[in-house]
Amino acid sequence: MDRLFNPFYSIDFIYSHGLIFLDQDHLKAYEVFTPVKRRDDKEWASTVYMLTADIELRSKAAPHINSVNREINWDGILSTDFGHGHRTAIYWSFGLWGGRSWGGWEDEEGNKVPKVDITSEGFSMGSTLQLVSLVAQAYRWGLSGKIPALAKVFNGM
């Protein structure tokens, strides 16, 4: 089951590394930022999977991802201009990475950074980013064996 075609979304899903990729570009970007030694690191792999999901996320987040040092410059990513759905995908990625919601701390000027409720905000993501967020969360939780079944659900839409 390397490829799953979903006529509803016109996406030719690619199943590889225990994840569902949207296209070859998504898979290639994931592989660039997730070298073999990082693929068992569920935090890293699920986060990079989400941040490389589409061309806008990839192009704007890529300069802030350092796979050599296992670092992500979240402030750098968020300083880039994104629409609400993409910004929510970034907050979701942060949750995968850090195990907590964005916000609730003070910035350098002492201002409280508001918390983001990614579950409620998730409705602002398009259906493709919603799928990616579910797959990323399942992978982060160690449910990669269940991801092909998730693809079949979306395949039936």
pLDDT (tens digit, 9 = 90+) per residue, 67-124? 999 999 999 999 999 999 999 999 999 999 988 889 888 988 999 988 998 888 888 9
Q: Contacts from 117-124 at CB under 8 Å and sequence distance 24+?
A: 118/88, 118/91, 118/92, 121/84, 121/88, 121/91, 122/88, 122/92, 124/84, 124/85, 124/88
Q: In sequence order, what are the residues at sequence separation of 6 or more whose Cβ sits closer than 8 angstroms to the Cβ of residue 126?
A: 85
pTM value is: 0.84
Q: Burial level of 89, CB count in 10 A (0-12/13-18/19+)?
A: buried
Do 49 and 132 meet the contact criterion of CB atoms below 8 Å apart? yes
Query: What is the number of domains present in the chain?
Result: 1
Domain range spanning residue 55?
3-155
